[in-house]
Amino acid sequence: MSLFETAFAKINLALHVRERMPDGYHRIETIFAFCEDGDRLEGEAADALSLAITGPFAEGLGAGEDNLVVRAARALQAETGTTAGAALRLDKRLPVAAGLGGGSADAAAALRLLSKLWNLTIDFRTLCEVARGLGADVPACLFSKTARGDGRGDDLRTIEWSPFSGIPVLLANPRVPLSTAVVFAGWDWIDRGPMPDEATAGRNDLEASAIASCPQVGAVLRRLNDLEGVTIARMSGSGATCFALFEDEDARDAAHVQLAGLQPSWWRLASRLR
């Protein structure tokens, strides 16, 4: 029997950087939201644990013990004591180092999939702790629902009723990877204040640093802001992917076609928020 999970693409509707903490992490305030689309992870029972990677963004990705999917599986084995294996196949549809939580979303999908495949009785709170040990964004990706993140981003408060659910979204990436560490290191240390109650009134405090490292981010933002029907355009996470929210799907689809004509080399994804 084969199971599959979607590793939903993550965006940050807003991301406020408040300070750098003694442990080197930055204290942030963010609103996570997730698209209906993303990478796809399949798995079936096997004697040993293995991972194969395919898809448009598979090139250069290792499938060994350092891969977050494999690390998630090993962490789950260690937590539960299971010796079960799995043959995992990752269809890598999202660009790498793109501010979409790709690796974190893949790890979270592995935790969800393997919990079912291995018939584990692990409770969700414990699963969240396993996720937290894999990376700051993995707990949010485990939920894959709109949530507020504080601290490193892993102090989560889920938003049971999200006003963003179903909103059409268009993602665009200039196909330039950006290092999260480099972008955070370029933050200017200025605390510009807390997250407002309305996420769309917020900001992404990493945009200036990302544009300094990758000027194409600024070009993406300008293009998105010029499209008709856009209600908000912003960079996601540490970039280089940017997103635009739209009034309706017709406006998004028209913008998608227009953007494809203007910038055919950019990666694009038309989706909706979950």
When computed from its CA atoms, the radius of gyration of the chain, rounded to whole angstroms, is: 18
Residues 205 and 266 in one domain: yes
| 253 has pLDDT over 90 | yes
Q: What pLDDT, on a 0 to 100 scale, did the predictor assign at position 162?
A: 84
Residues 180 and 139 in one domain: no
Q: Does any domain span residue 228?
A: yes
Q: What pLDDT, on a 0 to 100 scale, did the predictor assign at position 1?
A: 85
pLDDT > 90: percent of the chain: 96
Q: Does any domain span residue 163?
A: no
State the residue range of the domain holding 122: 2-158
Residues 147 and 240 in one domain: no
Q: What pLDDT, on a 0 to 100 scale, did the predictor assign at position 220?
A: 98
Q: What is the pLDDT of residues 13-41, one digit of tens each?
A: 999 999 999 998 999 999 999 999 999 99
Q: What pLDDT, on a 0 to 100 scale, did the predictor assign at position 199?
A: 86
- Which CATH number belongs to the domain containing residue 63 in this structure? 3.30.230.10
Q: What pLDDT, on a 0 to 100 scale, did the predictor assign at position 214?
A: 97
What is this structure's pTM? 0.95
Size of the chain in residues: 274
**Which of 158, 179, 199 is the C-terminal boundary of a domain?**
158
Q: What is the pLDDT of residues 96-119, one digit of tens each?
A: 999 999 999 999 999 999 999 999
Checking DSSP bridges between strand 230-235 and strand 2-20, what pairing results, if any? Answer: unpaired
Residues 104 and 236 in one domain: no
SS3 state of residue 198: coil
- CA 155/CA 103 separation, integer angstroms: 19
Residues 152 and 173 in one domain: no
Question: What is the helix (H) or strand (E) element at residue 168, kind and residue range?
Answer: strand 168-173
Mean pLDDT lowest for which of 175-179, 197-201, 262-266?
Answer: 197-201
The catalytic residue positions are 10, 137
How confident is the model over 239-255, as a mean pLDDT?
98
**Which of 134, 158, 182 is the C-terminal boundary of a domain?**
158
Residues 63 and 151 in one domain: yes
Tokens of 32: 């996570």
Q: What pLDDT, on a 0 to 100 scale, did the predictor assign at position 161?
A: 78
Q: What is the pLDDT of residues 124-162, one digit of tens each?
A: 999 999 999 999 999 999 999 999 999 999 999 988 778
- Which CATH number belongs to the domain containing residue 190 in this structure? 3.30.70.890
Q: What pLDDT, on a 0 to 100 scale, did the predictor assign at position 197?
A: 87
For residues 159 and 251, the model is more confident at: 251
| 7 has pLDDT over 90 | yes
Cβ neighbors of 64 (< 8 A, separation 6 or more) are: 70
| 229 has pLDDT over 90 | yes
How confident is the model over 239-252, as a mean pLDDT?
98
Total of domains in the chain: 2
Question: What is the helix (H) or strand (E) element at residue 142, kind and residue range?
Answer: helix 138-143
Q: What is the pLDDT of residues 47-89, one digit of tens each?
A: 999 999 999 999 999 999 999 999 999 999 999 999 999 999 9
Cβ neighbors of 128 (< 8 A, separation 6 or more) are: 139, 142
- CA 4/CA 71 separation, integer angstroms: 18
How far is C-alpha 212 from the chain's CA centre? 22
In degrees and rounded to multiples of 5, residue 209 shows phi and psi of -65, -40
Distances (CA, A) of 251 to 101, 153, 246, 254, 258: 26, 32, 7, 5, 10
Q: What pLDDT, on a 0 to 100 scale, did the predictor assign at position 20?
A: 96
Residues 17 and 66 in one domain: yes
How confident is the model over 183-199, as a mean pLDDT?
95
Q: What pLDDT, on a 0 to 100 scale, did the predictor assign at position 22?
A: 93
Residues 128 and 26 in one domain: yes
Residues 142 and 13 in one domain: yes
